[in-house]
């Protein structure tokens, strides 16, 4: 994966790599944890986790596109209020889809499925911060190495 030299710009390849790494690591953590907590087969919970992940990625792309269009049309700034609204609407959209899916897949009630989703949200908040922080640290190291290698080749 080639990284852009500008720390604020990310190539499409890097964005895809970032999303896939994020989801794969989450899948490896969540599927066994949920299988253990819910006393369900790992394959059964792994399939549900994969469905959740796929839906979340697709919803992320669609929701962010819609949010960008709303911002262009309405002209609001991305201040704290807008970002809180963005996060709340994003999560609400996921809940509308994931809770019924979990209830059906696990043969549980909607309330239990909602509690499961709340548990996942509580996992994903710190996981997202930690993953992105780690990604940024590793990316900065990679960029430094690339710059050093390019400088030594120029000599």
pLDDT band at 7 (very low <50, low <70, confident <90, very high): low
Encoded tokens for 153: 């080749």
pLDDT of res. 79? 85
Query: 40-69: buried (b, 16+ CB within 10 Å) or exposed (e) per residue?
Result: beeeebbebbeebbeebeebeeebeeebee
Helix 42-74 vs helix 12-38: angle between axes, to the nearest 10 degrees?
130
* pLDDT tens digits along 113-134: 999 999 999 999 899 889 989 9
Structural domain contains residue 88: yes
pLDDT of res. 146? 84
pLDDT of res. 2? 53
Query: Could you tell me if 130 and 62 are in contact, meaning their C-beta atoms sit under 8 angstroms apart?
Result: no
Number of domains composing the chain: 1
Range of the domain at 58: 51-154
* pLDDT tens digits along 82-117: 888 888 899 999 999 999 999 999 999 999 999 999
Structural domain contains residue 118: yes
Structural domain contains residue 76: yes
* pLDDT reading at 63 higher than 70: yes
């Amino acid at each position: 994966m080639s990284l852009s030299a500008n720390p604020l710009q990310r190539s499409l390849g890097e964005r895809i790599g970032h999303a896939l790494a994020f989801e794969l690591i989450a899948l490896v953590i969540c599927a066994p944890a949920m299988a253990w907590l819910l006393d369900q087969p790992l394959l059964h919970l792994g399939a549900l986790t994969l469905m959740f992940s796929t839906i979340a990625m697709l919803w992320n792309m669609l929701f962010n596109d819609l949010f960008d269009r709303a911002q262009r049309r309405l002209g609001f700034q991305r201040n704290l209020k807008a970002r809180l609204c963005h996060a709340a609407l994003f999560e609400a959209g996921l809940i509308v889809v994931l809770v019924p899916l979990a209830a059906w897949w696990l043969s549980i009630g909607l309330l239990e499925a909602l509690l499961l989703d709340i548990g996942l949200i509580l996992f994903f908040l710190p996981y997202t911060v930690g993953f992105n922080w780690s990604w940024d640290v590793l990316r900065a190291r990679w960029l430094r190495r690339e710059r050093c290698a390019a400088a030594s080749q120029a000599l």
